[in-house]
Structure 1
Amino acid sequence: MQYEGVLNKMHTEFLNPIQYYLVFEQAFINMNQVINKQIEIQHIGYQCLNCKKEKKIFRQGFCYDCFMKSAAAGDWIMRPELSTAHLGIADRDLAYEEKVQLQPHIVYLAVASDLKIGVTRKTQVPTRWIDQGASFAIAVTEVPNRYLAGITEVALKNHYTDKTNWRKMLLNQIFNVDLNEAVKNIEQFLPVEIIPYYKETNHEIYELNYPVEKYLTSCNSLNLDKTPNYSGKLIGIKGQYLLFEDGTVFNVRSYEGYKVNVSVL
């Protein structure tokens, strides 16, 4: 079977195990169903996810012009503490920023490799944790906007990492931690104005199970710009990564906006 289209991050369903779908304009692949099959990926071009033009991808699926202009690529995306919609101040497009920033956000602890702090919109729970390859996650506090989540994350970065070690995550080298105890200990580091929200938050632990036949002992990342044609036996999926038997791993999200042919052999 052969499919052609533009890569976007895989759609997911929070089941046991998590279900993955690679979705193109005219078709989709349930990736769980092709585990243990030979997959061929061929890079054939680009298409910006924003303007839809066939222009080289710069970052996050956008061409250079769109990345520099689109409200969906503002600095506050990666740095929530820079959000200003709660003040009525625009960065690039106030209507868009109000829609995204002025909704409930979750500050969380997740274990994908080490214990990390992060921020996501409430509507993205547990999708955000799945995309990161977290094995366990717990909400620290729910707040009403992105700015409050951002300043909370900044305060907690002094005590927790905000990065996932992707190699350790894919090798299933998971930090052993009591998340209930970790959430209790975190209160002392929270900004004073966040503590009332923290006390009202449901601290439920999520456990996430991924469709992996066998974890790798070492891994190397596939770069489509350097290796435009690749074929390998798919043995698992974790986060937004495809894991292949030869130790190759492919981060689908890193190649959003790339046009590909995908063959299931």
Structure 2
Amino acid sequence: MQYQGVLRKMQTEIGSPIQYYLVFESDFLNVNQVLDKEISIDFIKFQCLNCGNDRPIYRQGFCKTCFYEIPSAGDWIMRPELSTAHLDKEDRDLEYEKKVQLQPHIVYLANSSNIKVGVTRKTQVPTRWIDQGAHEAIEIVEVPNRYLAGITEVALKDHIGDKTNWRKMLTNTVDNEDLSEWKNKLRPFIPKEAMAYFIEHNTETHLAYPILQYPEKVKSLNLDKTPSFTGKLKGIKGQYLIFEDNTVFNVRGSEGYYVSLGIH
């Protein structure tokens, strides 16, 4: 089987285990179905996810020009506390920013390698947790806009991490934690503007990934340095493909790369 197209982050479907899909322009692949098969990945060219041109990808699947111009790559994406649509203030495109920022957002705790605090739009639950490779997660507050979520995250970051150790996540050297206990421990540090949105009663979500074999130590596949790779697929976690020889490939980190994908 042969597929060709520009890489975008894998789409997911909740299940036990989670189902993963690589979606191309005119075709898609349920990646779970090719576990234990040989897969070849060959880099052909760049294709910016915004302009479609063959220009080196700068960040988030975009060429440098698009990254600094388009509204979906504004600083408030990575730093929600910089959101200003609730003040009617434009960053790059107020209409777009209102659409994305002025909707319910969740501040959550997720455990993928260690406990971390994060922010996502409510519509992205549990997708966001899956993309991070979390095996358990819990919601802390549900607020009406991105700014409130951002200032809550910033306040809680003083007391708990906000980064995933992707190597630990992929080798499954993870600790199970009582997220409900952590949530209540962090409650006093929630900013007063967001305290009314605290979620009193909820339970942890547990997530299971399609993995036949975890890598012992990981080596990352970079298509710039290794434009052709072949390996036996042994698992999928977060946005990573895990191969038998301990190679891992970050699909999301390679958005905007146009590839040929062979299943043998």
TM-score exceeds 0.5: yes
1:219 maps to which residue?
218
Residue ranges of structure 2 left out of the alignment (5+ in a row): none
Aligned-partner Cα distance in 2 for 1:245–1:37: 10
1:91 maps to which residue?
91
1:239 maps to which residue?
238
Deviation for aligned residue 1:242? 0.1
Amino acid at match of 2:263: V
Contact kept? 2:50, 2:66, Cα under 8 Å: yes
1:253 maps to which residue?
252
What does 1:31-180 align with in structure 2 at a 5 Å threshold? 31-180=31-180
For residue 148 of structure 2, give the secondary structure of its aligned residue in structure 1.
Answer: helix
Contact kept? 2:159, 2:186, Cα under 8 Å: no
Contact kept? 1:82, 1:150, Cα under 8 Å: yes
Deviation for aligned residue 1:186? 1.2
For residue 147 of structure 1, give the secondary structure of its aligned residue in structure 2.
Answer: helix
For residue 213 of structure 1, give the secondary structure of its aligned residue in structure 2.
Answer: coil
Amino acid at match of 1:18: I
1:20 lines up with 2:24 in the alignment:
no
Aligned-partner Cα distance in 2 for 1:96–1:54: 26
Amino acid at match of 2:113: S
User: Structure 2 vs 1, CA of residues 65 and 201 (structure 1 numbering), >3 Å: closer, same or farther?
Assistant: farther
Contact kept? 1:36, 1:235, Cα under 8 Å: yes
TM-score, structure 2 as length reference: 0.99
Deviation for aligned residue 1:201? 5.3
2:182 maps to which residue?
182
Deviation for aligned residue 1:215? 1.2
TM-score, structure 1 as length reference: 0.98
1:193 lines up with 2:193 in the alignment:
yes
Amino acid at match of 2:183: V
String of CA shifts for 1:11-68, please: whole Å, max 9, x gaps: 0000110000001001111100000000000000011101112221110000111000
Deviation for aligned residue 1:202? 4.8
Aligned-partner Cα distance in 2 for 1:254–1:203: 32
String of CA shifts for 1:167-223, please: whole Å, max 9, x gaps: 00000111221111111111111112211110x455331100000001111110000
**Divergent runs of 4+, >3 A:** none
CA root-mean-square deviation = 0.8
Amino acid at match of 1:145: N
Amino acid at match of 1:159: H
Residue ranges of structure 1 left out of the alignment (5+ in a row): none
Contact kept? 1:139, 1:201, Cα under 8 Å: no
For residue 197 of structure 1, give the secondary structure of its aligned residue in structure 2.
Answer: coil
Amino acid at match of 2:48: C
1:8 maps to which residue?
8
For residue 58 of structure 1, give the secondary structure of its aligned residue in structure 2.
Answer: strand
How many residue pairs match? The answer is 264
Aligned-partner Cα distance in 2 for 1:202–1:124: 20
For residue 48 of structure 2, give the secondary structure of its aligned residue in structure 1.
Answer: coil
Contact kept? 1:112, 1:164, Cα under 8 Å: yes
Aligned-partner Cα distance in 2 for 1:29–1:173: 29
- The percentage of counterpart residues that share the same residue type is 62
User: Structure 2 vs 1, CA of residues 187 and 75 (structure 1 numbering), >3 Å: closer, same or farther?
Assistant: same
For residue 152 of structure 2, give the secondary structure of its aligned residue in structure 1.
Answer: helix
